[in-house]
Amino acid sequence: MRLYADHNATAPLRPEARAAMQEALDWVGNPSSAHREGVRARRALEAARAQVAGLIGATPTEIVFTSGATEANALALHGAPLGDAPLITSPIEHASVVEPAQERIRLGGDVRWLQVDQQGRIEAADVTALCQGRACFTTLGLANGEVGAIAPIAAVAKLAHAHGGLLHTDAAQAAGRVPIDVRELGVDLLSLSGHKLGGPAGVGALYVRRDLSLTAMLGGGSQERGRRAGTENLIGIVGFGAAAAAAHQALPEATVALCRRRDRLWAGLRASLPDLVRNGPDTDSLPNTLNVTVPGVSGASLLVLLDLAGVAASLGSACSAGSHEASHVLLAMGRDDGQARSGLRLSLGHDTSDDDVARLIEIIPAVVSRARAGVAA
């Protein structure tokens, strides 16, 4: 039996999501239609909206459904009342934030970069220094999907608002793994992804603070209260809602269990591989994520050998895994090019068992030994 340790790329579909989607497959009706079938679809849509809102402490009217977190990030970056305000972000953000920031620079825009330390952490106070007394739009991931570092979003929000600015956070990797409350965080916008927490791919959401105006990127319809045109992906949204509700119900017990298994995995691997290097913080990190570098071993070679041994893992973000480039996250954390190409990410999830962890502790050192023998040869 294969071992799946790549939940940060895509989590397996939760049973609750599968059941909800199977039921919805037999429905017909557009949520915007006034007939009985359309009313049923609308009720299912709004029930799912309430489930997603409940996961993050929002109200249903603050949730805009999108095709995923990438679109949600784009809608936040382009649809929020930015004007010509400077953009503040960090170099370890997801590509769907970093690339628009780089494009903004190419077009002559003002982008200011926060620095990260060797563990992928930022200092909230640096936001004040970058604002320079101006209202800025700040976008930071709540948790980094490669190394697991959790950002001090609540503190950043206070500082951003003190200067009259706005804060957006990409919570795709954090949702369903750590408790989230948008009121406590103080964020203005927050992105979510269905397939990261056990829902289907191709659906996500953007939380928009109730009194914040948002300009739609897609026109041609009044769906999502005029904030995102196009007939809603009802089957995907129903699955997303069911997964969000299941994840919410499982917290915080699931968080504790994931922490225990991740720490056991790290201790077990380090016992067999004492030169193993951990990338990311020991505390204030995602409970399911362990990123390590094996000195003297090519990350790409290790990944292939692990796959042959029945272990699914990754070298970083799935959105850039096919680029064969060094991890921009590890480079920003001060790793050299070789190290940035060899950060093995092991991410656990709701279906990971203690037996799975024990097998990983057994298989990975054996695979590393074979990889090192191949390098030596």
Could you report the per-residue pLDDT of 34-58, keeping only the tens digit for each? Answer: 999 999 999 999 999 999 999 999 9
Side chain identity, residue 154: A
Do 206 and 257 share a domain, yes or no?
no
Cβ proximity of 64 and 71 under 8 Å: no
pLDDT confidence of residue 332: 95
Whole-number percent of the chain with pLDDT over 90: 87
pLDDT of residue 374: 77
Residues 221 and 331 in one domain: no
DSSP for 99-116 reads HHHHHHHHTT--EEEPP-
Say if residue 87 is in the same domain as residue 41: yes
Answer yes or no: do 63 and 199 share one domain.
yes
Q: What is the pLDDT of residue 82?
A: 76
Provide the pLDDT confidence category of residue 376 given band limits of 50, 70 and 90: very low
Mean pLDDT of 167-178: 98
**Do 191 and 49 fall within a single domain?**
yes
Q: Does the pLDDT at position 175 exceed 70?
A: yes
Please indicate, yes or no, whether residues 221 and 317 belong to a single structural domain of this protein. Answer: no
Q: Does residue 377 register a pLDDT over 60?
A: no
Domain boundary among 207, 226, 250: 250
**More confident: 322 or 52:** 52
Which position has the token pair 């917290």?
A: 251
pLDDT-based confidence at 298, cuts 50/70/90?
A: confident
Q: Are residues 235 and 138 in the same domain?
A: yes
The predicted model gives 315-334 an average pLDDT of 76
pLDDT of residue 149: 98
- How does 170-209 read in b/e, with b if 16+ C-beta sit within 10 Å? bbbbbbbbbebebeebbbbbbbbbbbbbbbbbbbbbbbbb
186: pLDDT strictly greater than 70: yes
Give the model's pLDDT for residue 207: 98
Q: Please tell me whether the overall predicted TM-score, pTM, comes out greater than 0.85 for this model.
A: yes
Considering the domain architecture, whether residues 226 and 182 belong to the same structural domain is answered as yes
- Here the CATH number for the domain that contains residue 170 is 3.40.640.10
Number of domains in the chain: 2
CA 350 – CA 51 distance, rounded (Å): 18
Confidence (pLDDT) at 319: 55
Distance CA 359, CA 176 (A): 25
Burial code (b: 16+ CB inside 10 Å, e: under 16) for 22-48 equals eebeeeebebeeeeeeeebbbebbbbb
> Which residue type does 165 have?
G
In terms of C-beta density within 10 A (0-12 exposed, 13-18 middle, 19 or more buried), how is residue 312 classed? middle
Say if strands 87-89 and 137-141 run parallel, antiparallel, or are unpaired.
Answer: parallel
319 is catalytic: yes
Say if CB 153 and CB 185 are below 8 A apart. yes
Domain end call among 250, 268, 285: 250
What phi, psi does 83 have (nearest 5°)?
A: 65, -135
Task: From the candidates 131, 136, 259, 319, give the one annotated as an active-site residue.
Answer: 319
The chain-wide mean pLDDT, for the chain, equals 94
Q: Rg of the chain over CA atoms, in angstroms?
A: 21
What is the rounded distance in angstroms from the CA atom of residue 357 to the CA atom of residue 269? 10
pLDDT of 324 reads 61
Report, as an integer, the average pLDDT of 282-293: 96
Verify that 177 and 55 share a domain, yes or no.
yes
Residue at a domain's end among 230, 250, 270: 250
34 and 177 together in one domain? yes
Whether 274 and 212 map to the same domain: the answer is no
Of 219 and 101, the structure prediction assigns the larger pLDDT to 101
Residue 276, pLDDT above cutoff 70: yes
Same domain, 131 and 175: yes
Range of the structural domain that residue 328 is part of: 3-11+251-376
